[in-house]
């Protein structure tokens, strides 16, 4: 017998097949990461011994933080972490200030030709960084910089192997400007006028009126700046040579020199991943919103 009338409202995605698919996918995405963290706690011999059984994904057997201790012996991991935290934090802070300031002027103030400027800024979005990276290496090697030498300032040439070469190219970002611009346009202009009645200048309006109301935009830009800064590999690979300036991602090269200890590799990769995962879990909504925001790029 066939049912002639639909029984209530059809709700796809709630049946057993959908649940099975959801759970299978969750396993596919979570198990490799679980394997990484679990293996980081085991001695090499046990990692290989467990591969053939479900124990590979379980924290069982001889667990210790020995691999983590060994990582700090093999790699200046603390230094690398510090470098990455510093470079990402400065890039994010400068990025938020520089891009929001530009977006504020383009959104709010009377500046001739701002429509053209905004169009030009957005045009730079079509260029993937990878196409510019190689000419950019040559270019930063020609740029001058002022270095403090004792009490006198000295003019040096070439940014290779510095901190600024890891930060400055990634501060200004067309997409961040675009996001701030969109957000500022949604804040009522009456607020500016009220502030101006009270004698506030434009910079005060930016700092005291508009920016405090732009938390979500700041979070989005901060996340979209932070992730590539923390994860950057191609760029520091080419422009950083000295050990004391290296970011975390370059640390992986240390593990394949003599004898490879996979337990240590997994400990190092866990170490540089867990801070980001913790941030993600804490600010989940903001992360997801920022990725969704990048969906308006086209």
Partner 1 sequence: MTTHSVTDRASDRAPHAPRVGGRAARPGPLPGPRTRPRSGTMAGAVARREERLGWAMIAPAALLLVLFIVVPALLAFGLAFTNARLISPYPPEFVGLDNFVRLAEDATFWRSLANVAYFAVVVVPLQSALALGMALLVNVRVRGVNFFRTVYFLPVVTSMVVVSLLWLFMYRQEGLLNEVIRAVTFGLVEGPDWLNDPATAMPAVILMSVWQAAGFHMIIWLSGLQTIPGDLYEAAALDGVSTWQRFRHITWPGLRATRNLILVTITIQALSLFTQIDVMTQGGPLDSTTTIVHQAVQTGFRQQETSYASAISLVFFVLVLIVSSAQRYLTREKS
Q: Which stretch binds partner 1 (CB under 8 A): 24-32, 75-83, 145-153, 214-222?
A: 24-32
> Could you say which residues in the range 258-277 bind partner 1, by CB under 8 A?
262, 265-266, 269, 272-273, 276-277
Phi and psi of 26, rounded to 5°? Answer: -60, -40
Q: Which of 2, 6, 16, 282 binds partner 1 (CB under 8 A)?
A: 6
Q: Is 126 in the site for partner 1 (CB under 8 A)?
A: yes
Q: Which stretch binds partner 1 (CB under 8 A): 71-79, 147-155, 208-216, 224-232?
A: 224-232
Q: Is 294 in the site for partner 1 (CB under 8 A)?
A: yes
Instruction: Give the angle subtended at the CA of 31 by the CAs of 26 and 37, to the nearest 5°.
Output: 135
The two structure tokens encoding residue 263: 């337990």
> Could you say which residues in the range 229-258 bind partner 1, by CB under 8 A?
230-231, 233-234, 237-238, 249, 252
Query: Can you name the residues that pair with 154 across neighbouring β-strands?
Result: 147
- Give 142 or 152: the residue with its C-beta nearer to partner 1: 142
The pairing of beta strand 144-149 with beta strand 152-157: antiparallel
Instruction: Give the angle subtended at the CA of 223 by the CAs of 241 and 230, to the nearest 5°.
Output: 20
- Comparing C-alpha atoms, which of 273, 282, 276 is closest to residue 36? 273
As a whole number of angstroms, the distance between CA 176 and CA 95 comes to 8
The two structure tokens encoding residue 264: 């240590």
Q: How far from chain centre, in Å, is Cα 186? A: 26
Q: Which stretch binds partner 1 (CB under 8 A): 22-30, 60-68, 74-82, 213-221?
A: 22-30
Q: Is 58 in the site for partner 1 (CB under 8 A)?
A: no
Q: Is 78 in the site for partner 1 (CB under 8 A)?
A: no
> Could you say which residues in the range 170-209 bind partner 1, by CB under 8 A?
170-172, 174, 177, 189, 193, 196-197, 201-203, 206
- Give 119 or 152: the residue with its C-beta nearer to partner 1: 119
As a whole number of angstroms, the distance between CA 274 and CA 256 comes to 22
């Amino acid at each position: 017998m066939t049912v002639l009338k639909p029984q209530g409202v059809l709700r796809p995605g709630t049946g057993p097949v959908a649940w099975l698919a959801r759970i299978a996918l969750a396993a596919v995405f979570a198990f490799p990461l679980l394997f990484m963290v679990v293996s980081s706690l085991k001695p090499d011999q046990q990692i290989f011994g467990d591969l053939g059984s479900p124990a590979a994904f379980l924290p069982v057997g001889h667990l210790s933080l020995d691999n983590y201790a060994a990582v700090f012996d093999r790699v200046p991991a603390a230094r690398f972490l510090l470098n990455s935290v510093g470079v990402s934090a400065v890039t994010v802070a400068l990025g938020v200030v520089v891009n929001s300031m530009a977006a504020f002027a383009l959104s709010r103030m009377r500046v001739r030709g701002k429509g053209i400027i905004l169009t030009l800024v957005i045009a730079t979005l079509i260029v993937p960084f990878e196409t510019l990276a190689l000419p950019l290496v040559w270019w930063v090697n020609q740029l001058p910089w002022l270095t403090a030498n004792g009490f006198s300032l000295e003019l040096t040439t070439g940014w290779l192997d510095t901190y600024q070469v890891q930060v400055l190219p990634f501060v200004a970002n067309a997409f961040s400007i675009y996001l701030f611009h969109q957000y500022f346009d949604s804040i009522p202009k009456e607020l500016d006028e009220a502030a101006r009645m009270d004698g506030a200048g434009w910079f005060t309006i930016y700092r005291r009126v508009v920016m405090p109301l732009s938390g979500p935009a700041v979070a989005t830009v901060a996340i979209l700046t932070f992730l590539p800064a923390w994860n950057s590999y191609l760029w520091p690979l080419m422009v950083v040579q000295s050990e004391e300036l290296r970011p975390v991602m370059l640390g992986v090269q240390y593990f394949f020199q003599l004898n490879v200890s996979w337990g240590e590799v997994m400990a190092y990769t866990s170490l540089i991943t867990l801070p980001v995962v913790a941030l993600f879990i804490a600010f989940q909504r903001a992360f997801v919103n920022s990725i969704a925001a990048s969906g308006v790029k086209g």
